[in-house]
Structure 1
Amino acid sequence: MSGCRTNKGLSDNKQQPNILFIAIDDLRPQLGCYADTIVQSPHIDKLAGSGVLFKRAYCQQAVCSPSRTSLMTGRRPNTTKVWDLKTHFRTTIPDVVTLPQYFKNNGYHTQSIGKIYHDPAEAQDALSWSAPEILALTKKDGKYVLPSNLKSKSSKAAATELADVPDNAYIDGQVADQALEVLGKIKDKPFFLAVGFRRPHLPFSAPKKYWDMYDREKIPLPVQHTLPSNIPAYAAHNSEELRGYSGIGSGNSIADSITRELLHGYYAAISYTDAQIGKVLAELDRLNLTRNTIIVLWSDHGFHLGEKGLWAKATNYELDTRVPLIIAAPGKGRGITSDRLVELVDLYPTLAQLGGLPVPEGLEGTSLAPLLTKPDQPWKSAVFSQFPRPWQYKGEPATMGYAMRTERYRYVEWRNFKTGEVKAMELYDHQLDPGEVNNIANIPENSTLIHELQQQLRDGWQAARPGGF
C-alpha cells in the first residue's frame, strides 16, 4: 500500500457530493495502474493516483446484462433472475429501486450517457433517470466507420478496425462529447452522471493514433493456450462471440498473426477509451467539480485474450470475473491500493453511504467505504460469481456454475439448476497456479479442503461478510 493521503474535498460539510459513474465494457484489469507494462492508460492511471484502486474486485456474472443488472440493483443474479441478455429486471423484481433511482428519489439529477444498462432499447430503464438516456443504444455506425464494414449485411463485420479519423467518429468519442456538454448544464445541482464507454468490447475499433501507440511485433502472445484436461466441456466455450466476426476462421485455433492483430486492437481500444475518460475528468476539473465529486470507474467483467484458448467472457474463470475498480472520493484515501476481496454488487451500498444516504434494505453487497481509509483491514473471506449453461438457453438453464474466490482458491460447483445436484467441481490454487491450469478438485488428498470450500460456498455471501455487517 502506498502512503495514505486523503482527498481534499467538501466531505466535512453538508453539501451533497456529486457522483461520476464511469462504466467500461469488457475491460479486464490490464492497465498501467494495475502494473501492466503493455497498455498505455495514462488518464485512468492518474485517476487511480487520486483514489483507491481495488486489486481484487469481481463481477457477479461475466456477461453484460446480468453483471450490470446486479450492480445497478444491488442484488445478485439469483435474486434478479437475470442470467441472460433478454430478461429485464423490471419483469422479475418490478418494484426494485435502482442505484441511480435511489439518488433521484433523494434530490439528485440522474442522467445516463452511453452504455450503462445493456444495449437494446428494451433493456433501458427510464425510472432510473431524471432525463432521457443519451447514446444508450449501440448502432453499427458507432462501431465502424469504414465503408467495407458498414456495408456488411451482418451486424458483425471485421473484428478490428483502424481508421484515420477523429475520436468522435466512433461512439465513445461521441459519448465523451455529450458528457462534457451535460456537465456544463447540470454543474449547479447535485448530480449522478453515468457515463458508459463501449470499447474495448468487440469490434476493436479505434482511431489510427491509438493503434500507433503500439508495435504489433512486440506484443507478446498468450502464455498458456490450453484448458485443464479434467473439466466438464460446459465449463468453457468455443469463443462464439469472437467467431461471429469476419476473418477469424472456424477452426479450433486462431493463427498467431490474427491473435496479434486482435491483441493490438484490444490495447488500442483501451487507450482510445482512456483518452475519452481523460476528457471527461479534465472537464470536471475545469468546472471546479472534482473536489466535491465521488468518481467511480468500473468494468462489467473481464475478458480472455486467447488464454486457455478462450476469447471474450462468459466463464467462471479469474480472467472473466476479475474487474478493474477505482473509487476517488472527497476526504478518502488518495493513491492507495487495496488487496481485499470486493464485488461490483458492493457499489450500491458504498455510494449510498458516501453520499450520506441511508443504505437501503435488501441490498446484497457490503459498503466499501471503510476500505477507502483503511484499505488493508480484514474484509470478506470470499466473493461469488456464477454462469449458466448452456449460454443463450431457452426458458431456464440446465446447469448453473457457482464460483467462489477466496484469498487462495477458486472453487466452482456445476449444479443441476432444478435439483441443485452437483454435477462437477473445479478447484484452482492461486498460490501455485495463478493461471488456473490444473483442476485439483478430484485429487484425494484435497478431500478435506473440498469439504470446507463446499460448506463455505453453501454458506454464501452473508457468511463471507466482514465482522460488523
Structure 2
Amino acid sequence: MKLTIKPFATKMACCLLLLAGGLDAPAGQPNVLFIAVGDLRAELGCYGGEHVESPCIDRLATQGTLFERAYCQQTVCNPSRASVLTGMRPDTLRVWGLLTHFRQNKPDVVTLPQLFKKSGYHSQCVGKIFHNWLQDDWKGDEVSWTVPSVLHYNRHGNDLPQVDGKLSPNLVSGKGGAECRDVPDNAYFDGRVAETAIDTLRAICKDDKPFFLAVGFWKPHTPFNAPKKYWDRYQREAIPVPGHLTPPTDVPEIALTSSRYRGGGNSAELREMHHGHLAAISYLDAQVGSVLTELDALDLSRNTIVVFWSDHGLHLGEHGLTRKTTAFELDARVPLIIRAPGHKSGQRSAAIVELLDLYPTLTELCGLAAAPDLEGVSLVPLLNDPARELMESALTQTPRPNYPRGKPPKVMGYSIRTGRYRYTQWRDFQTGDVQACELYDHDNDPLETANVVANDDQQTAIAKLSEKLDSLLPKK
C-alpha cells in the first residue's frame, strides 16, 4: 500500500486559483521535457540489455535516476496514457479500451499539461502523447495545450515511408509491415517528430515563460520499419531470441490473448521480428538523442526536468504471444528515467513505482499545486534517496474482452507486483467474483513460466497477496 505524502501548504493555498484561471509561473521555474514512447518494454542497454544499441537513452540514464521496477496501469495505449496524464486509474476514469476518451466520464479533469498551462507555463505537444486517432471529438485534447498539437493525429499503420524520388526496395519479408529501406530518418513519423521538437525548442526557449514540452515518439510500436542503417547495427544470427515460446504451465486461458506466435524457436520469422524490434529501438534512441542534444546546445539542460517513459511493454513470442494486453511482467513493466536539476546523476532505484506517480512527481518538482484527486504519489523521495521504498506493490490491470467498446468489460484481470511475486485475479467486473488466479514467483521463475497458485507452499503468501489486492481495488 502506498504511503501518504502530504503536499506543501503553499501548493494547496494556490490550488483554487490555478484551477480557476491560472497564474504566472514563479520566476526560475524549471522546464519539463516529457518524452513518451510506445510499446517499449524494459529492453535497453541501461536495463541490462547488452544486445541493444541504445546509447542516447543509456546516456540519459547516467545523468538521472533510472527506475528498475516501474509499472503501467493498463497494458494498452489509451488507458495507460489517460492514467498517466490525469493521475487517475483506469477504473476511476472508466477508460479500458481504445474508443473511450477520459473526458467522456471525467469532463472537468485537469490533465498534467493542462495544469502546467494553468500555472503559467507554455504547454505544447509534438507527436503522440494522448491516444487520439479514434477520438475525433478530442483531437489532441486541445484544452491541455497552449497551442495546437502537431504530428499527433494518426495511426501506426499509416507510418509509410515518405521520400523524394524513387523509394528504395524493402530488404526484409514485409510481414506485419516490417520494412528495411535505405531512407533518411525523417521518412517515418519519429524522424519528423524529432525535427519538429527541435524546431519547437528553438522557438519556445526565446520566450520568458518556462515550458512543458511533451514529445511523443511512435516507436518501437509495430510496424518495425526503421531505416536500414538501424537494421545494420545488428547481426541477425547473434540476436538473442526467447526460449519460452509456450504459455506458462497451468495458466488460465483468460490470461492469454488471440495474438499468438505459432512458429519455431529459432525460425526466420522470430529472428526477423526481434531484429526489426531492435532496429526500431535504435531508431527511436537516435531521435531521442537528437532532441536531448539540442536541449544541451540551447543551454536548457541545467534547468529542464527530463522524463522518459513508455506506455507499456509487449510480447515478441514469449509465452507464445505477440503484442500486449496481458497481465504478465513483459507487458506491465516499463522503462522510466527522470533527470531533474538538483538531484544526483547515475542513480538507480529498485523501488516499485507506477506511471501513475509521474503527475504528482512533476508538480512537486516544479512547486505546483496538484489536483486533490490524484491517485499516485510523488517519486521525489526516491530522487533524493533511491535506496528507500515508497510502496509495497504496483497494480496493473487488463480487461476481457481486450478492447471493450465504450462499455464495462465482462472480466477484469487485476495484477499486483511485489518484490517477489506477481499475483493476478480475474474477476467478474460487475460482481467482483474471482474466476481464475495466477501466481508467479520471481525469485525462482523470473520469466513467469509456471503458475504456482495451486502449490501448497504458496498458500500463506497467496492469502496475504489477496488481502493486499482487495485493499487496492474500489469497493463494489
What residue identity is the alignment partner of 1:105?
Answer: K
Mapped to 2, the partners of 1:442 and 1:64 lie a distance apart of: 33
CA contact (8 A) 1:221 1:256 kept: no
Q: Distance in 2 between matches of 1:118 and 1:382?
A: 27
Measured in 2, the distance between the counterparts of 1:294 and 1:75 equals 22
Q: Return the offset for 1:148.
A: 12
The equivalent of 1:136 in structure 2 is: 152
Per the TM alignment, residue 459 of structure 1 is displaced from its structure 2 partner at its CA by 1.1
For 1:450 and 1:378, the matched residues in 2 are separated by 22
Aligned positions of 1:372-411 closer than 5 A:
372-394=383-405, 395-411=407-423
Q: Which residue of 2 aligns with 1:161?
A: 179
1:52-451 to 2 correspondences below 5 Å: 52-120=65-133, 122=136, 124-138=140-154, 140-145=157-162, 158-187=176-205, 188=207, 189-239=209-259, 256-394=267-405, 395-451=407-463
CA contact (8 A) 2:356 2:375 kept: yes
- Paired amino acid for 1:181: D
CA RMSD of aligned residues (A): 2.1
Normalising by structure 1, report the TM-score.
Answer: 0.89
Give a deviation string over 1:426-445, Cα, whole Å, max 9, x none. 00110001011111111233
Amino acid at match of 1:220: P
Preserved contact between residue 350 and residue 368 of structure 1 (Cα < 8 Å): yes
Deviations 1:367-386 (A, max 9, x none): 00111120011321111000
The SS at the match of 1:392 is coil
Pairwise CA distance, 1:166: 0.7
Query: 1:142 is matched by which residue type in structure 2?
Result: D
Structure 1, gaps ≥5 residues long:
1-12, 151-155, 244-250, 463-469
SS at match of 1:426: strand
Query: What's the CA shift string for 1:352-398, capped at 9, x where partnerless?
Result: 00011123200000000111120011321111000001112343211
Determine if contact 2:242/2:265 at 8 Å carries over to the other structure.
Answer: no
CA separation in 1, counterparts of 2:110 and 2:265? 44
The answer for the alignment partner of 2:17 in structure 1 is none
Deviation (angstroms), 1:229 = 2.9
1:316, 1:144 → 2: CA distance?
A: 34
CA distance in structure 1 between the aligned counterparts of 2:327 and 2:210, rounded to whole angstroms: 38
Q: Could you tell which deviates more after superposition, 404-413 or 358-367?
A: 358-367
State the distance in 2 between where 1:272 and 1:296 align: 19
- In the comparison of the two structures, how many residue pairs are matched? 436
1:234-270 alpha-carbon deviations (Å, 9 max, x no partner) = 1011217xx8xxxxxxx57687101111100000010
Identity %: 52
- Given the superposition, is the C-alpha separation of residues 186 and 232 from structure 1 closer, same or farther in structure 2, using an over 3 Å criterion? same
Identify the residue that residue 9 of structure 1 maps to in structure 2.
none
CA distance, structure 1, for counterparts of residue 79 and residue 345 of structure 2:
31
Q: Give the drift of 1:85.
A: 0.3
- The Cα shift of 1:310 comes to 1.1
Moved more, 157-166 or 83-92: 157-166
